[in-house]
Amino acid sequence: MKKNRERFCNKEREFVYAFKVGNESFELRVPLKFPVQENASHLHGRLMLLHNLPCFIENDLKESLSQFIEEESLQDYDGDAEAALEGVKSGEVDLHQLASTWAKAYAETTLEHARPEEPSWDEDFADVYHDLIHSPASETLLNLEHNYFVSISELIGERDVELKKLRERQDIEMAKVMQELGKSFTDQDVNSLAAQHFESQQDLENKWSNELKQSTAIQKQEYQEWVIKLHQDLKNPNNSSLSEEIKVQPSLFRESVEAIERIYEEQRKLEESFTIHLGAQLKTMHNLRLLRADMLDFCKHKRNLHSGVKLHRLQTALSLYSTSLCGLVLLVDNRINSYSGIKRDFATVCQECTDFHFPRIEEQLEVAQQVALYARTQRSGKAKDQDSGNQNGASDEKSAERNYLNILPGEFYITRHSNLSEVHVAFHLCVDDNVKSGNITARDPAIMGLRNILKVCCTHDLTTISIPLLLVHDMSEEMTIPWCLRRAELVFKCVKGFMMEMASWDGGISRTVQFLVPQSISEEMFYQLSNMLPQIFRVSSTLTLTSKH
């Protein structure tokens, strides 16, 4: 049957079209290879342009060409079918195997004959949680989550104290050895002691890491089982064993210090809000906010669950399984891990509270690494095929030098969270040292990365996004006032353009975009940026009309 099928593939046939121009007769002959891969309309357009054909035959030629391709293709299909039937009749094809293949394909593509999908635990739990968080039981859920958070926070506090004591003891030991260096101890002794100290620190960190991992796993299991049971109890009003409401357990651990820090942060925080309308014909209203704040402030929980924090947490929980998600952009280096910089600080915040809905941050980063490795090897394979024989393999050497686990500037990976204060999704955008220079353009990888992030927001129901306005999380000496103004103007204008594109991506949905600047920026600089924003976005203003009689 395979040989018969090959007879009808790549067969060339001639399309003949006769037409008259005045008294002269013309004939167009075009060899076509079947099956025809090109769209008939595209082929027709090329023929008109290539042979400079008169316009009055355009429609007739298009109809004749489409009819020719359709008739010849049907003949091929009929011939292919006849060959297949001949193969069955002659015994070349196993009839039982063919029937089972057809039955399997039909069952997989027809819903009424397909096997019912097995229920997913994650989907069931998500539905149950969504029902409960939108019920009077929401306060009980938040209280339980907060108590779990306090428990993990205090465990982390004990770990930090123990690690601090170990380092202090090691510092004293090393100081004594250094005093006796050249007398009782040699350089080898110092190196040996340093190695012992490092090993002791690693052992202690691993011990606490395993303990935290085990504790969060137990909490997650207990929480999910409790949520399922509470949902079942609420469904049965006659059930007298309805779970008692959980009260918030106050934490005495570092509460006074945090109260002082909170007051200090509130004093340093600056905020301006604007309402804009974007769009050519159908305008969409958006909310813009300019804030002087730390990006991680939107992630951190407070140990004392006062009313303001509780409202933020409730809003985040209510919208966890909704079409109004919140996200933020973290600027990271090209390594997918949580070992340094803001990546480490973000991972620490994620570890302070158990995530009851999504995998731990470490597990999500491992998946991101695997995806990045697969994507990089796929691209490298295609590049090798294209560059084979060119530059004597120079491109292969360049690819070999690159770490396949690293990502490129402008690329980003996404992590999902249910345990952060005001955020559901984190976009980890890779940037390099070029963002610190003052000469980046709208085509810079970091800017294009922002565009792609906003596109993901449109396709995945993120209606609030927080962006570092200056494309940095911390200020440095080279970031002068002119530098800040140029960078802010560039980002404002690019984001405005991207937001106008959003209307074609999602049909025009109202969104909130928060522009964050580092806390170390001056108030004067902040208000200069605040004055720039309405000029670029043309903020809506109230017009008062008066009439004279």
Q: With a threshold of 0.75, does the pTM exceed it?
A: no
**DSSP assignment letter at 297:** G
Q: How confident is the model at residue 189 (pLDDT cuts 50, 70, 90)?
A: confident
The rounded Cα 445 to chain-centroid distance in angstroms is 16
Position with higher pLDDT, 336 vs 183: 336
Tell me: the pLDDT tens digits for 70-125?
Answer: 888 888 888 888 888 888 788 777 777 888 888 888 777 776 666 666 666 667 88
For 173-208, letters b (16+ CB in 10 Å) and e give eeeebeeeeeeebeeeeeeebeeebeeeeeebeeeb
The pLDDT, as a whole number, for residue 264 is: 46
What's the whole-number average pLDDT of the chain?
82
Choose between 8 and 70: higher pLDDT. Answer: 70
Which residue carries 């570890």 as its tokens? 351
Residue partners of 444: CB distance under 8 A and separation at least 6:
410, 434, 435
Give the pLDDT of residue 24: 84
Contacts of 454 (CB under 8 A, 6+ apart): 465, 495, 498, 499, 501, 502
β-sheet with 462-468: strand ranges across: 270-278, 284-292, 512-517, 462-468, 325-332, 425-430, 412-416
Q: How confident is the model at residue 47 (pLDDT cuts 50, 70, 90)?
A: confident
DSSP string, 89-112: HHTSS-HHHHHHHHHHHHHHH-GG
Q: What is the pLDDT of residues 349-369, one digit of tens each?
A: 998 889 999 999 999 999 999
For residue 379 the two structure tokens come to 């691209």
pLDDT level of residue 215 (50, 70, 90 thresholds): very high
Residue 126: which pLDDT band, with cuts at 50, 70 and 90? confident
Give the pLDDT confidence score for residue 521 in this predicted structure.
Answer: 92
Q: What is the pLDDT of residues 430-445, one digit of tens each?
A: 999 888 887 889 999 9
- pLDDT the model gives residue 513: 94
| Distance, C-alpha 530 to centroid of its chain | 29
